[in-house]
Structure 1
Amino acid sequence: MNITDNNNESIIVSIKCTAYNHEKYIRETLEGFIMQKTNFRFEAIVHDDASTDNTADIIREYAEKYPDIIKPIYETENQYSKKDGSLLRIMNEASRGKYFALCEGDDYWTDPYKLQKQVDFLESHPDYVLCSHRYRKFYQNTLSFDNSILPRDFNKDFTFDLNYYILREDWVTQPLTCMYRASAFDSDYYMKFKNKKDLIFFYVLLKRGKGVLLNDCMGVYRIHEKGVWSGLSLKNQFISELQTTKSIYDVEHNFTAASMLKVFLQRNCNMFNSQIMKSELKLILSVWCIVVKYFKIEGIILIMHQLHLKIKIQKLWNKIVSIGKR
């Protein structure tokens, strides 16, 4: 896509927004872009990935009304489903900014100074590659917000690196919160990974430098049944994360990858181990089979550790039940 305009002032931030069948949500997303108050130029590259609803029409409406900000791309063939990096290439070729900000078409921003705050930080801290912030979850089925501001356990700006990102049991950053230096992202390295999920994206980025989490809450992550991640079942989320971890392991074959595997299993398998009901045993066994399939010896060793924990939990549970029957 060729983007031309008559303003010679440089674009500082390119917002990269991908949308697919987001007609219910895309207006709120686009409003979050146009409300931004900055002392620099920015653009929003809004990519409709061959939606079958009215998403493209809504994007077109905003592009006509705000041509200096909204730069649309309309596909006739879905690019995300190709899994070959086409979507990343298209978005990168269209984006002209020094910094890239991310927001998918079903999430939205709530602070009109979000871009300004993030640019100010990155301009004054050249050794950082990524600037993130806190956010809230919104549950579409109940039309309610989560009570917590995420990620939890922070009350001030916080610096993190790749090791912290890997070892923390919940993610420090989400796409809707992220701004990063365009020059810091190694697309060729990224393309080596078979699985190109968000975790891989941040893994590649943080290999180049550190990130900061601003304590400000400036966006909303929407949970709904058609979400790429939130729409998956618990088991399929587990499988997706396992495939992502396997992708890193295949490329790296080092301590970092092994650490990721261990943390992944502890984070996810403990969730299954906490379910002691017999009805869950079949699911747990199927998950262990997946781990062995992907990770061979390493997976077996970690599974034995997890099973040891499960046996302890099972014994404790049986003891509690027996006491209750007296």
Structure 2
Amino acid sequence: MITFNQERYIAQAINSVLEQQTTFPFEIVIGEDCSTDGTRAIVEQLAAAHPQVIRLRLAEQNQGAKRNFVGTFSEARGEYVVILEGDDYFTDPLKLQRQVAALDARPDWSICFHPARCLYEGNLQGPPMTPERWGREEATIVDLFEQNFIPTSGAMFRNRGAESLPDWFMDAEAGDWALHLLNAAHGNIGFLPEVMSAYRIHPAGTWSGRSVEARVVSIFHLLSAVDHHFGGRFAEHIERNRVTTVRWLFGEWNNAAETSRKAVELLSVMTTGETPRKRVTLGKGRGHSRKEIEQLAEMEPGSQDYQSLACKLEALLDERAWLREAHREWTSSLAYKVSRELKRPWNQLRTFFRSRRSKPMALPDDPAPPAVKAA
């Protein structure tokens, strides 16, 4: 367990582990990263009350989340490891018992995981649990390349020691995904359907608080490092993930464009200076929903709601510009060009054979792309 400035949550997290009912002993290793609030005092108090279970790793100065994790992980002595962040907690007292029994029964599993209930704070919204509608008893590292479907608090894995972590792990911002991929290289991934932990998502979270741009960049860097680590064994699956991400960006771009258009129209209606009834008429004529129309009728130019909508419009336009730039950078990247050029001769052959009956097409003398010839 690692923690930093989580005095609101840390006691609940630790107590949820102390309440576990098991037939085997377990330890709680807590890495406290020199918090500036009351977090350290809370963990020291609980450690003093449960010295046979809790071991503290107290940093003399702030190390950062990744160094704190690796240092704390290196202190783990058990056969199996569970990671619980300081703002999450277990919801089932039999969680550890069930996962240990599953891994003992399936030596071919390197990881065992279960869904986690999502707790949203602030204005954040999303699905009630993660992963949603996961019905497979078993998965592999190939599935994990498509998406990180393993919640951190829901995973238990075999302890291979922190020394097994590669150097690039320290630079991987999506550290939980990187750790799951490294573990999944040693065996399959087992699934238990019971929801046995809670995952807190709030604006101050390490990952949820980041922008879409930062998350995409982090994922692409992680995939590149993993590709080198495995010597290109999973290059096809990694490339598929990149293509899927770019397609998703296109969808976000279109959504942002449509939302921006509607926001512009709403702002134009609000600034007409007409009466609320006239604004409703204008809103209906432009195809806005009933909820939007009702909100529009209540707003006044210069009000706080008006300013909020104007800020939202500005943010959407910025996001749309970033998505356009991300697409431009992707299509001009070497990875995209090499993949496209390698497929070009085969696409030409396919087109040739499909059109052969109706309109034959002359093949080029040398269909090999420049990149292949120069290799």
TM tier relative to shorter chain: 0.7 to 0.9
2:144 maps to amino acid = Y
Asked whether 1:256 is paired with 2:256, we answer no
Whether 2:197 is the aligned partner of 1:219: answer yes
Change (3 A) 1:88 1:104: closer
SS at match of 1:94: coil
Distance 1:209 1:186 in 2: 18
Q: How does 1:185-196 map to 2 (within 5 A)?
A: 187-188=163-164, 190-193=166-169, 195-196=171-172
| Higher percent of residues as helix | 2
Aligned mates of 2:326, 2:215 — CA distance in 1? 11
> Does the 8 Å contact 1:133/1:218 carry over to 2?
yes
Matched ranges for 1:123-162 at <5 A: 123-141=104-122, 148-155=128-135, 158-162=137-141
The answer to whether the aligner puts 1:163 opposite 2:142 as a matched pair is yes
Unaligned runs of 5+ in 1: 1-16, 305-326
Say whether 1:96 aligns with 2:73.
Answer: no
CA spacing shift, 1:32–1:264, aligned 2, 3 Å:
farther
Which protein has the larger Cα radius of gyration, Structure 1 or Structure 2? Answer: 2
- C-alpha spacing 1:64/1:193, structure 2 compared with 1 (3 Å): closer
| TM-score of the two chains, using structure 1 as the length reference | 0.77
Q: Which whole-Å CA distance do the structure 2 matches of 1:214 and 1:145 have between them?
A: 25
Q: How does 1:108-123 map to 2 (within 5 A)?
A: 108-123=89-104
Cross-structure match for 2:312: none
Q: Could you tell me how far 1:134 is from its partner in structure 2? A: 0.7
CA distance in 1, matches of 2:227, 2:92: 38
Which of the numbers 223, 232, 250 marks the counterpart of 2:210? 232
Give 1:87 shift: 3.3
Secondary structure at the aligned position of 2:171 is classed as coil
Secondary structure of the corresponding residue to residue 28 of structure 2: strand
Partner residue of 2:323 out of 281, 284, 309: 284
SS of 1:275's partner is helix
8 Å contact kept, 1:25–1:107: yes
Q: Does 1:173 align with 2:150?
A: yes
**Structure 1 counterpart of 2:369:** none
More strand by share: 1
List gaps (5 residues or longer) in structure 2.
261-316, 342-375
In the other structure, the counterpart of 1:203 is 181
Summarize the alignment of residues 50-69 of structure 1 with structure 2, pairs less than 5 Å apart.
Answer: 50-69=34-53
Equivalent residue, structure 1, for 2:336: 299
Rounded Cα–Cα distance in structure 2 between residues aligned with 1:124 and 1:292: 47
Give TM-score scaled by structure 2 length: 0.67
Partner of 1:12: none
Secondary structure of the structure 1 residue equivalent to 2:194 = strand
Asked if structure 1 preserves the Cα contact closer than 8 Å seen for 2:5 and 2:38, the reply is yes
CA displacement at 1:48 relative to structure 2: 0.7
Alignment CA distance shift 1:79-1:302 (3 Å): farther
Give the letter for the 2:322 counterpart.
L
Say whether the 8 Å CA contact 2:131–2:151 is kept in structure 1.
no
Write the distance in 2 (CA, Å) between the matches of 1:69 and 1:158.
Answer: 32
SS of residue in 2 equivalent to 1:262:
helix
Change (3 A) 1:68 1:242: same
In structure 1, what is the Cα distance between the partners aligned to 2:191 and 2:226? 24
**Bigger RCO (CA 8 Å, 6+ sep):** 1
Indicate conservation of the 8 Å contact 2:2/2:69, yes or no.
no
- Cα 1:209/1:70, change in 2 over 3 Å: same
Deviations 1:213-258 (A, max 9, x none): 1101011111112111011112211222122122223434525134
Distance 1:290 1:195 in 2: 22
Percent sequence identity is 23
On the 8 A contact 1:18/1:104 being kept in 2, the answer is yes
Provide closer, same or farther for how the CA distance between residues 291 and 73 of structure 1 changes in structure 2, counting only shifts above 3 A.
farther
**How many angstroms apart in 1 are the aligned matches of 2:199 and 2:231?**
33
| Conservation of the 8 A alpha-carbon contact between 1:138 and 1:146 | no
Give the match for residue 244 of structure 2. Answer: 266
- Change beyond 3 A, Cα 1:61–1:290: farther
- SS of corresponding position for 1:42: coil
Alignment partners' CA distance in 2, 1:265 and 1:24:
40
**Residues matched between the structures, number:** 278
1:54 Cα deviation after fit? 1.1
